[in-house]
Structure formats: C-alpha cells, structure tokens
Amino acid sequence: MLKNYFKIAIAVLKRRKFFTFISLFGISFTLTILIVLTAFVDNVTSANYPEVNRDRSLYIISIQQKDTKHQGQMNGPASYYFLSHYVSTLKTPVSVAISSLFTPTNTYVNNKKLVINMKYTNDAFWNVLQYKFLEGKPYTQQQIENGEHVAVISEDTKNAYFGDAASVVGKYIEADNVQYRVTGVVQSVPVTMPVSYADLFVPYTVSKADWRTKTYMGNYTAVLLANSKSDLPKIQDEYANVISKLKPDNKDFDVLMSSADSYLKSFISINDRDNGVSIIITVIVLFALFVMLLPTLNLVNINISRILERSSEIGVRKAFGASSKTLVGQFIVENIILTFLGAAIGLLLSFIILQVINGSDLISNLHLTINFTVLFYSLVACLIFGLLSGVYPAWRMSRLHVVTALKAQ
C-alpha cells in the first residue's frame, strides 16, 4: 500500500510542477534555517574541544551579593581570592580550574596593531581543560609561584605574531607592554567558548591587578572537574554548604548567592536558574514553531487546492467503498513524502551553507557540522511539518460527499 501511495504522490507532484516547486522551496528553506541554527546551538552547548569533560564538570561563572531590604544587588564574576579560598579547597572535585575572563590588549608587529585577548589562569586550568599542544607545554605551578612572565599562545596568535616561524617556544611576545616567554602553542578555540577562549594565556600571578585582595567580586570563573558524573550533586551540595556559611564582604548587602552548575545553566541569571533554563527552551521551541508556521500555512493552502483538483478521484474512490480513514491516511502519507523530499533538499542546502560558514571564517575556529543530534531533530521537524500541513487538508478531503466530488469535475 505504501508503494502505491508513493507512486500516487510522485504523479501528483509532476502534475502541477509550479505548486510542487513552491511547496518544496518552503519546506527546504524552513528546514535549512532550523538545521543551521540547530548546528550552531549544538556546537556551542556540546562538549567540544577543549571542554571535552563538560558532562562531569560544574561551572561557577558569577556570584551575587544582595540587599533584601532595599532590593539592591551586585552580580558578577568572582575574585581569584574567593575561588582559591572557598572553591579550590572543596574536597569532592578532582581539580578546580580558575581563569579570568579574556581581556583585549594591543600589541604591534611590524608597525601593525594586533589585538590580543589575554586570560590569566592557575596551573589546574591545563588539567581540567584538554587543550591540544601543537608545540611546547603549559607553564608549571612553580613558574606561577615565582611570578615568571611565561605564556601559552594560540595557533592563530603564533601565525599573526611570528609569521611562518617553525617553532616559537622560547621566543618572546609582547602584550600589555610586558614581554612574555612562550612555553607552548595550543590549537585555537572559537570565541563562542568564553571560558576557554583566549589568544594568550599567562599565570594569574603576573596580573597587574592585586589577586591577593580579600574581596569576593572580581574577574575570574572556575570549572570544577568531578571524578565521575555521579559526583556532581555532591559537589553542588558541598559548595552550597560553603556559601550558606558566608556573608557578603560588602556591608551594603546581607545575602551572598552562588551555585555550581552545568555549562548552560551557569550562564543563566542566578535568580531562579531552573526557571531561566525553562524560559530559554520555551523561546527556542516557540521560535522554531514560528519559523515553521508560515510555510506550513502556505503548504496547507496548496494542499487544499490540490484536493479540489482531485475531487473526481476522491468521489470515484468513495463510490467504490474507500473509507474516510483510508483517504486521510493516504493524503497524510503523500504529504509526508513531499516533506521528506523537501527535507532532502534542505539537508543538501544546509551542508553547503555550513561549508560556506566554516570556510568564510565568519567566527574564527568555529566548525559547524550536521551530526546525529542535528540530523535527529531535523527528522523530527520533518514529521511535525508533514503532519501539521497534512492533517487539515486530509480532513477536508475526507468530508467531501461523493456526489459533490463528482460534480466538481
């Protein structure tokens, strides 16, 4: 039966080529947008290089001090003192990576200005985040304690600053009017990964800001690595217990709030994080439905027009005993076949667009792919699209009376 439905669907598509083109264009264009957006979201939120251990990591991106009486609050990254004193001392995490937000600074090469994004780190940063060293190695804890001006640079920075040099380990790079000796070169990271992205990584002890100041607010974040995924709730409970015993370091506030969360949740506002994630998911779903709505309505109208063209066929089939259920099933199957043909075109267009995006270096070092996750959601979108655009026309078709259908011809 499905084979017959397929043959009928192909015949119907060939009958009105212009309407078929409009339908396939609407379907393929819609799915191309969804696939490209899904590929981007999947790339940003998944465990990619160098944050390959996100499934067993927790992030502390910010802390909040609040005045419950006057509704005042101060929210932002933590200080190095706070993270080293209250987070690095937690017993459950295997390791705690502490790093600053990247900050731009200017340097000059051959009289040409070069913007370099710097990040200050501790030694555990290189254990938690799995960077690929193209040459050299990270600076050591001893070098950090000694306050040595050493640095790890990205591959992009090596090429921009040193040109075609075969090896740069041991050479010096200037940033923020300071000369740093290069100890290693790592594969570059896209800017869409703010925790791990930078052009130049240096020890926190060489920062011009006083990292020993005993304040809670600063410019640092932390990544807590667990031994296994099952240890994550223990780490969260342990950190929550520490926070519950602390009071704000600012006398204008009376409540200190912070939590260790998964990568995605850590970037949501501290207030009501679970609700924040739900809002984001809802917005994404609503946007996807909105993108699908217009071509769905267009396809519904086209399908209704096709029903009127096939009224004699419907009347004959009803006269020979075809039930409404059979006709509805046939039309929905035909519509799903049309949708999947559009999906095939959409996948091809998506592949081409992703290659163009990757090749254009629109976002440096960002490589989007159509993986199994993206493909799965694309197929789900196809089924939803086919059902949404096929159910109402199929119902209209099944309601046609035999005499009315035959007279329409």
143-154 pLDDT tens trace: 999 999 999 999
pLDDT at position 271 is 46
Task: Tell me which H or E stretch contains 99.
Answer: strand 95-100
* pTM for the predicted model, two decimal places: 0.79
pLDDT at position 270 is 46
Backbone angles phi, psi at 136, to 5 degrees: 75, -155
Provide the 3-class DSSP secondary structure of residue 209. Answer: coil
In degrees, to the nearest 5, what angle opens at C-alpha 391 toward C-alphas 386 and 393? Answer: 105
Question: Left if phi > 0, otherwise alpha if psi is -120 to 50, otherwise beta: which for 136?
Answer: left
Residues of the chain short of pLDDT 70, as ranges, are 1-6, 8-9, 12-13, 16, 19, 268-329, 374, 378, 382, 385-409
Other beta carbons within 10 angstroms of residue 62's beta carbon come to: 18
pLDDT at position 131 is 97
Q: 208 to each of 143, 147, 177, 178, how far by Cα in Å?
A: 17, 11, 11, 11
CB distance 193 to 365 below 8 Å: no
In degrees, to the nearest 5, what angle opens at C-alpha 101 toward C-alphas 97 and 104? Answer: 135
Q: Where are the domains of the chain?
A: 2-47+276-408, 63-257
pLDDT at position 370 is 80
- What is the rounded CA–CA span in Å between residue 179 and residue 161? 13
pLDDT at position 246 is 93
CB distance 390 to 304 below 8 Å: no
Encoded tokens for 41: 């979201």
Tell me: the pLDDT tens digits for 11-30? 766 776 776 777 778 778 87
Beta bridge partners of 221: 99
The residue assigned the tokens 């991106």 is 61
Max Cα distance, the chain (Å):
94
